[in-house]
Amino acid sequence: MKILLTGGTGYIGSHTAVELLENGYEVEILDNLFNSKKTVLDDIEKITGIKPKFHEVDLLDMPAVEKVFEEGNFDLVMHFAGLKAVGESVEKPLKYYENNVGGTINLLKCMEKSRVKRIVFSSSATVYGNQGVAELTEEMQTGVGITNPYGETKHIIEELLKDVSESDSEFEATILRYFNPVGAHSSGFLGEDPNDIPNNLMPIIMKVSIGEIKELSVYGDDYDTIDGTGVRDYIHVVDLAKGHVAALKKMGPGVSIYNLGTGKGTSVFEMISAFEKASGKKLPYKVVERRPGDLAEMYANPNKANQELDWHTELSIEDAMNDTINYLRHIEKK
């Protein structure tokens, strides 16, 4: 089976490429390298022995995307490509709608033209908005109370896929709602290496630990949680990548939606302690005001993916911290 990974040189796409190649799938990657580097292809080769064919193409460049499909003969698309900086999406909403929604429309048009009928889409727990409860299940209503344009684009694309599915009974879409991906490949070759200033917790912890950021700002310690700090469901990126292989094996007509998370919440203070334990170093931090739009606590109910996909997370926060530190050593040496 031949699979096109849009955004495949990015953080989650590259780890998924490795799992797909190790399971015998043929992989090609399309990416505009806006938030990733071409050297990721060499790193994938170091791990798997295979360097995927690469198309340096922007999804907004319709003729170029069409060409990739005309030559590709793909059986399925995994669609990771997108912009994901929540803060920037508030400042530049048009850029986010154009890139994420516009890029997906171009992709779906090219898939239709080339009769490629299967897609796995990278969605986010952000589509749940504020449900008033911490544990999130797939059948909850989505799209209400989303606090930023990035999250809106994920919701809109989910709806888009449902509408395309309504119009074509052969269309197969699997929507994967990721919780909070962390960690790196155990080889140390792949990890999260954003080109821009990160705004998620783990990449900020990484930058603080190597001295690129002075200290971590903890956004509030007065939430109604175990220690007052925000609680999230941090999933090791390799477990997440494996979830894609599991999803692929169970695809069928229509739209299927799965949470990919561990089912367990971890607080910011617990994340700081886990990083300090793994690195043997103190992580400087200060408690500041709550971040607007943040929820106190959210975590996945992963039962549907556990049962229907026969997929379970295997790696812990400790594994994620050790792998992140190993990856940091690798990039420091480069």
Q: Interface residues with ligand NAD (CB under 6 A)?
A: 7, 9-13, 31-36, 58-60, 80-84, 99, 103, 122, 124, 178, 180-181, 200
The strand pair at 266-267 and 231-232 is best described as antiparallel
Q: Strands 285-288 and 216-219, how do they pair?
A: parallel
Closest CA to 125 of 229, 262, 268: 262
CA distances, 191 to each of 11, 90, 237, 261, 323 (Å): 6, 26, 9, 18, 9
| Residue 9 interacts with, from ligand UD1, ligand NAD, none (CB under 5-8 Å by kind) | ligand NAD
Question: Could you say whether residue 90 binds ligand UD1 (CB under 6 A)?
Answer: no
Return d(Cα 148, Cα 19) in angstroms, integer: 32
Residue nearest to ligand UD1 (CB): 230
Q: Are 271 and 234 in contact (CB under 8 A)?
A: yes
- Tell me which residue has tokens 């669609």: 79
Q: Does 294 bind ligand UD1 (CB under 6 A)?
A: yes
State the nearest-atom distance from the C-beta of 112 to ligand NAD, in Å.
18
213 binds ligand UD1 (CB under 6 A): no
Determine the Cα–Cα distance for residues 11 and 181; give it in Å rounded to an integer: 9
Active site residue 128: no
Task: Tell me the closest approach of the beta carbon of residue 282 to ligand NAD, in angstroms.
Answer: 26
Number of shown-chain residues binding ligand UD1 (CB under 6 A)? 23
Q: Does residue 164 touch ligand UD1 according to CB under 6 A?
A: no
H/E stretch holding 216 reads strand 216-219
CB of 189 to ligand NAD, least distance (A): 15
Q: Which position among 96, 150, 299, 327 bears the catalytic label? A: 150
Interface residue list for ligand UD1 (CB under 6 A): 84, 86, 124, 126, 147-148, 150-151, 180, 199-201, 204, 216-219, 230, 232, 268, 291, 293-294
Active site residues per annotation: 150
